[in-house]
Each structure stands twice: as C-alpha cells, then as structure tokens.
Amino acid sequence: MSEYYRHRLRQLQSLLEPGLRRMLFISFLLHLIVPVILSGVLIATHRTPKVPVYRVNLVNKPVKNPRAGRPDAAPTKKKKKKVVKKKVAAKTIPLKKKKTAKKSVAKKTTPVVKKKKPPVKKVKLDKTAETDLQKRIAEMQARAERQKKLDRIKAALAAQRAELGKPDVQAPVGEPDGKGDEIGISSITKIKGIITENWRLSQYQLPSLELQAEVKVIYSKEGKMRSWEFIDKSGNSFFDESLRKAIVKSKDIGETLPVAGTFEIVFNLKDLQNR
C-alpha cells in the first residue's frame, strides 16, 4: 500500500473532496444568478403597468380616505410643496442675508469699531450713543430690506403654490381634475352611496314597482346641500315622500366632496323589479 494510495483513501473517506468545495461554490453562485436573470428578464420584457387599486364599497359607505395606509398616498402633495419651498428658501434667503450682513458690517463696524474699542467704554458717551444710533439705523434698514425681500419671496412662493395647487392631486382618476393614480371614491359614488343608504322604502308600501322620480340636488364643496327640488315626481305620494326623507337625511355628507355641483338623481325600483 503506497503512500499515495493512503492519501487517496483519506480523500475518499472525507465528506468533501477538495475540488468539490469549489464546484459547490460555483453552483451556489449560479443559483444566485438564476432568479436575478429570471426576474430581470421578466421585468425587461413585460413591465406590468401599475395596477390601479379599486376599493369596493361594500356597505354603501364611502371610504373616508381611500388611499390611507399606502406609502405613496396622501403626502405626495405636501412633499412636492415642501421641496419647492426649501429650494427657494435655500437659494434666495441666505444670499440676501449675507448681503445685508456685509453691508451693515461694512457700514457700521469698520469705522465704528476702531473708534469704539479704546475710548468708548468710560469717556465718550455721546460717541457711543451716536454709534449706537448709527448701528440701529443700519440694522433697521437691513431689517426693512430683508423684510421686503422676504415678502417678495413669499409672493413668489404663493404664486408657485397656487400653480401647484391647481390640479387636485388627491382627487382620484375618476374625477375631471383627478391626478391620482388610483380609482377612488368619486363624489358621484359618495353621494349615491349616502342617499341610497338613507332611502328607506318598502315595496309593501307601493301598488307597483314601476315608479320613477327625479330630484335635483346641489351640494357645496364642503358636502352641505345647498338646495334641492323635484324635477319629476312619480305620482305615488309614498314613493315621493320616501325620497323627500332620503334627501333631507342626506343634507350633510359629512366630508368634503372632490367635486361640488348639481346632481340630478333618478330614483326608481329597477333592482326590485328584477327579483
């Protein structure tokens, strides 16, 4: 039995032969690469469009904040504004500060300080008073200037903000001015949900289910009903009375509407007929 043979035997008995370890490592790397390649290929080939999140209103109750809990939800608007503000502020304000500071320093300190330092303390009170006055005037001037500039910045900011604020970012896509990336609860759905919920009518009250009436309702942006009127009555007093109650109960939506305005609501009993 040669030395080499023993060596081979030892290798044979060992769990991992020396070469195998390297191969296992290569295999491991390959396995790491596979999902990366797969997912990369998948993403590259069909980049799936962002699926809009539909919130289904199960209880006829509009969801108060349909995008609550989503990281990209409400704060988008605020963030944008903040960023703009900071940028503007960062650019403009310090510049002015520096300028004013320099000016004032130049005006007051260079001449004043020299005079001030040695004698002022005890002897020349009037001079200190004078310098004080000068200093104060300079300060006031500087402040006024700063204030002016601040005002200008504020105006610019306000203008910017107004421009930004125009598209209602929170309004969902279904709205005319909606820029959100989801389909949320529109005013129509909200109003429909609330009035439907408040409409209580039993078919036992009616001689027939083929009734229809139309009501015009005007809501303010705060969700308050401004006015309402019947456009078309059904002719059945109980049906009409139930509508009157439903409308009266829905006088306050309780939250602001993305879009205010006039709504023509048609009431009928088609869903009951089909049963």
Partner 1 sequence: MRRIQSLLLVVALLVPLSAQAVRIEISAPGEQTIPLALTRFLPMDDASKSVATEIDQVLNADLDLSGLFELADRAAFLSDAEKLGLHSTQVDFAQWRLLGVDAVVKGGYRLEGDQLVVEARLYDVITQRLLTGRRYVGSPGDERRIAHSFADQIMLALTGKKGPFNSRLAYISTRSGHKELYLMEVDGHNPIRLTDHRSIVLDPDFSPVRKEITFTSYKHANPDLYRKEIYTGREARLSQRPGLNTGGRYSPDGSEVVVTLSKGNNSDIYLLGTDGTIHKRLTKHWGIDVAPSWSPDGDRVAFVSDRRGNPHLFIVDIASLKVVRLTFEGKYNATPDWSPTGDWIVFTRRTEGQFDIFMIRPDGSGEHRLTFGPGTKEHPRFSPDGRFLVYSLDLNGEKSIHVIRTDGTGDRRLSAPGGNDTHPAWSGHWQ
Partner 2 sequence: MDLVLQAGPIVKLVLLVLLYFSLVSWGIIFYKFKTIQQAIRESERFLDFFWEKKRFDVIGQGVKDFTQTPLAILFREGYHELLQLKKQNRPEAARELSADLGGLGNVSRALRRATTQETQRLEKYLTFLATTGSTAPFIGLFGTVWGIMDAFHGIGQTGSASLAVVAPGISEALVATAIGLAAAIPAVMGYNHFLNKVNLLIGEMDNFSQEFLNIVERMERS
Binding site for partner 2 (CB under 8 A): 1-2, 4-5, 8-9, 11-12, 17, 19-20, 23-28, 30-31, 35, 38-39
Residue 172 CB partners (closer than 8 Å, separation 6+): 66, 178, 180, 182, 183, 184, 185, 186, 258
How far apart (Å, rounded) are the C-alpha atoms in residues 56 and 96?
Answer: 53
Residue 237 sits in the site that holds partner 1 (CB under 8 A): yes
**Beta-carbon contacts of residue 39 (< 8 Å; ≥ 6 apart):** none
State the DSSP code for 186.
Answer: -
Amino acid at 122: K
Of the pair 221, 270, the CB lying nearest partner 1 is at 270
Could you say which of 188, 230, 233, 256 contacts partner 1 (CB under 8 A)?
188
Of 171 and 201, the one with the shorter C-beta distance to partner 1 is: 201
| Structure-block tokens of residue 231 | 């456009």
**248, 252, 254, 255: residue in contact with partner 1 (rule CB under 8 A):** 248
Does 200 bind partner 1 (CB under 8 A)? Our answer is yes
Task: Determine contact, residues 250/195, Cβ cutoff 8 Å.
Answer: yes
Degrees to nearest 5, angle at CA 194 with 193 and 198: 115
> Is residue 266 at the binding interface for partner 1, with CB under 8 A as the rule?
yes
Can you tell me whether residue 90 is helix, strand or coil?
A: helix
Q: Which of 159, 203, 210, 222 binds partner 1 (CB under 8 A)?
A: 203
> Whole-number minimum distance, CB 78 to partner 1, in Å?
29
Tell me if residue 120 falls in helix, strand or coil: coil
Q: Which is nearer to partner 1, 17 or 229 (CB)?
A: 229
Choice between 4 and 204, CB closer to partner 2: 4
- List contacts with partner 1 (CB under 8 A): 60, 187-188, 191-192, 195-206, 216, 237-238, 242, 244-246, 248-249, 261-272
